[in-house]
Amino acid sequence: MTDFFKNIPAIKYEGPNSTNEFAFRHYNPDEVILGKRMEDHLRFAAAYWHSFAWPGTDPFGGQTLERAWFGDTMAHAKLKADVAFEMFDILGVPFYAFHDADARPEGKTFAESLRNLEEIVDYLGVKQSTHKTQLLWGTANLFSHRRWMSGAATNPDPDVYAFAAATVKSCMDATMKLGGQNYVLWGGREGYETLLNTDMKAERDHAGRFLQQVVEYKYKIGFKGAILIEPKPQEPSKHQYDYDVATVYGFLKDFGLEKEVQTNIEQGHAILAGHSFEHEIATAAALGIFGSIDMNRNDYQSGWDTDQFPNNHAEKAVAFYEILRAGGYKTGGTNFDAKIRRQSLDPEDLILAHVGGMDTCARALKSAMALMQSGEMEAARNTRYAGWNTAAAKSMLTGSLDAAAARVPAENLDPQPISGRQERLENLWNRFV
Ligand code: XLS
Ligand code: NI
Ligand code: NI
């Protein structure tokens, strides 16, 4: 045991009326709803990078958080893993997620970085075998080190492409070794700062071939998890190629990968792309590429990806409703890609941030489930499209444009507008949140 979280108890469910800060009011992992335990619906994961690797920096200021495990030796990395698993135990989260660079010190050469990664993966493997928490996904950090400044797979320098291949290969091997259920690719530098120096066609072609190679390698090593792309429109790049779910789908189709790769959708990224979170989830579900989510929220005034913990259950209920409509998670989960604020110095802040986020999601899930069980929203939606159940309507979709046109004079068609009933449906929502 380290002494970082000393005196913080394991968090238990005490019900909505509890006034104990260190308790769940809504997240009750063993409660069965719609035939499944709440823990298995939500599949929470904690993110290694925000909670254990971020020093509290922002674009204007340096480190605010002081942690005994900040340092670049293997001893620091192991202490970090010890503290991380203590937090996972306190929260009872079933999963975690990490980048190579969060967990191991950077070496002077690729070979040294790889040795460090392999050593920490063995250490994490022992942790996983003695704790409940398992790996939801692994990923490579292809954006922090200066070598990635002009991109990874899209870098104009082919030697960086090779370095990206070596790095992703090592992270896929690590994820497989730890029994990870997914492998995520987020291309923060796969985009451009200015079109003036960018060959967009070449960069896009290289990114497509790289992703095909990732999928080929998955089969080569027998990795059973899902490969997920995480869309984001910009930041750190001015423009990122994986702009949003629809753009990613077009990209996957272009490279024949739409059956092989799914999406990891983040709330804050959806907002940056000018969408809502639920829009992105519904788009992925409609296109058959919904995989997992990164749960957080942005500050709605600042316009940055502020990665805050979610605290508005009504907002998240709409997102969970779309996840339920998509059939829930398969390999995916609810990963808290969220960090405390740089003034939140205390170990308690880190724990309570997760407690609040987990409770917000649990409450949102319960609302979404109750609405789903009532069937009223789906009945209203079905009624709105009921006309399409007739043979005459269906035949239009298999016939020609002029055959559809011929129905107008032949059947004397004179369609009358029908109310969209938006406010009634909004009121229906409010009965459940
Ligand atoms: C950054 C991304 C990142 C990915 C993993 O905005 O959200 O944290 O989830 O590389
Ligand atoms: Ni993000
Ligand atoms: Ni993310």
Pick the ligand that lies closest to the CA of residue 139. 1
Encoded amino acid at 318, one letter:
V
Beta strands in 128-190 (DSSP E): 134-139, 182-185
Q: Which pLDDT belongs to residue 302?
A: 82
For a substitution probing ligand 1, which of 171, 185, 186, 190 has the most ligand atoms within 8 Å of its CB? 186
Q: Whose CA is nearest to atom 3 of ligand 1?
A: 186
Distance, CA 120 to ligand 1 centroid (Å)?
21
Q: Give ∠ CA 367-373-377 in degrees, rounded to 5.
A: 80
For a substitution probing ligand 1, which of 175, 263, 266, 267 has the most ligand atoms within 8 Å of its CB? 266
Helix 422-432 × helix 376-384 angle, to 10°: 160
Q: How many residues are given for the chain?
A: 433
Q: Whose CA is nearest to atom 8 of ligand 1?
A: 337
Out of 3.20.20.150, 1.10.3720.10, 3.90.1720.10, 3.40.50.300, which CATH number does the structure's domain 12-374 have? 3.20.20.150
Kindly list the distances between the CA atom of residue 145 and the CA atoms of 101, 141, 203, 375, 398, in Å, as whole numbers in the listed order: 9, 8, 20, 50, 54
Q: Which pLDDT belongs to residue 137?
A: 99
DSSP string, 34-97: TTEEHHHHH-EEEEHIIIII--S-BTTB------TT-SSSHHHHHHHHHHHHHHHHHHT-SEEE
User: Nearest Cα to 241, choosing from 202, 280, 285, 299?
Assistant: 202
Of ligand 1's listed atoms, the one at least distance from the Cα of 305 is: 6
- Catalytic annotation, residues: 99, 102
CB atoms within 10 A of CB 345: 14
Q: Residue 360 is encoded by which pair of tokens? A: 């917000």
Q: Whose CA is nearest to atom 10 of ligand 1?
A: 186
Distance, CA 67 to ligand 1 centroid (Å)?
22
Of ligand 1's listed atoms, the one at least distance from the Cα of 99 is: 10
Distance, CA 371 to ligand 1 centroid (Å)?
31
Q: Which pLDDT belongs to residue 301?
A: 87
Q: Whose CA is nearest to atom 2 of ligand 1?
A: 186
d(CA 163, CA 176): 20
Distance, CA 338 to ligand 3 centroid (Å)?
8
Q: Which pLDDT belongs to residue 300?
A: 83
Question: CB under 6 Å to ligand 1: residues?
Answer: 99, 139, 184, 186, 188, 230, 232, 266, 294, 305, 337
Residue with the two structure tokens 């979280």: 5
Pick the ligand that lies closest to the CA of residue 102. 1
Kindly list the distances between the CA atom of residue 261 and the CA atoms of 177, 224, 280, 283, in Å, as whole numbers in the listed order: 20, 13, 16, 15
Domain boundaries of the chain, sorted by first residue: 12-374, 392-432
- Residues lining ion ligand 2 (Cβ < 5 A) are 266, 305
Of ligand 1's listed atoms, the one at least distance from the Cα of 186 is: 10
User: Nearest Cα to 230, choosing from 217, 255, 211?
Assistant: 211
Of ligand 1's listed atoms, the one at least distance from the Cα of 143 is: 10
Q: Whose CA is nearest to atom 4 of ligand 1?
A: 186
DSSP string, 194-224: -GGG--HHHHHHHHHHHHHHHHHHHHHHT--
User: Nearest Cα to 174, choosing from 99, 101, 105, 121?
Assistant: 121
* Mean pLDDT per 10-residue segment, the chain (433 residues): 96 98 98 95 98 96 98 98 98 98 98 98 98 99 98 98 98 99 98 98 98 99 98 97 98 98 98 97 98 95 90 97 97 98 98 98 98 97 98 97 98 97 98 96
Q: Which pLDDT belongs to residue 306?
A: 94
User: Nearest Cα to 251, choosing from 306, 191, 199, 297?
Assistant: 191
Q: Whose CA is nearest to atom 5 of ligand 1?
A: 186
Q: Which pLDDT belongs to residue 360?
A: 98
User: β-strand 32-33 against 36-37: which pairing, if any?
Assistant: antiparallel
Distance, CA 53 to ligand 1 centroid (Å)?
13
Q: Give ∠ CA 261-48-159 in degrees, rounded to 5.
A: 60
d(CA 182, CA 202): 28
Report how far apart the first and last C-alpha atoms of the chain are (Å, whole number). Answer: 40
Per DSSP, what are the bridge partners of residue 263?
229, 290
Pick the ligand that lies closest to the CA of residue 144. 1
Of ligand 1's listed atoms, the one at least distance from the Cα of 50 is: 8
Of ligand 1's listed atoms, the one at least distance from the Cα of 141 is: 10
Distance, CA 277 to ligand 2 centroid (Å)?
13
Distance, CA 335 to ligand 2 centroid (Å)?
11
Pick the ligand that lies closest to the CA of residue 235. 1
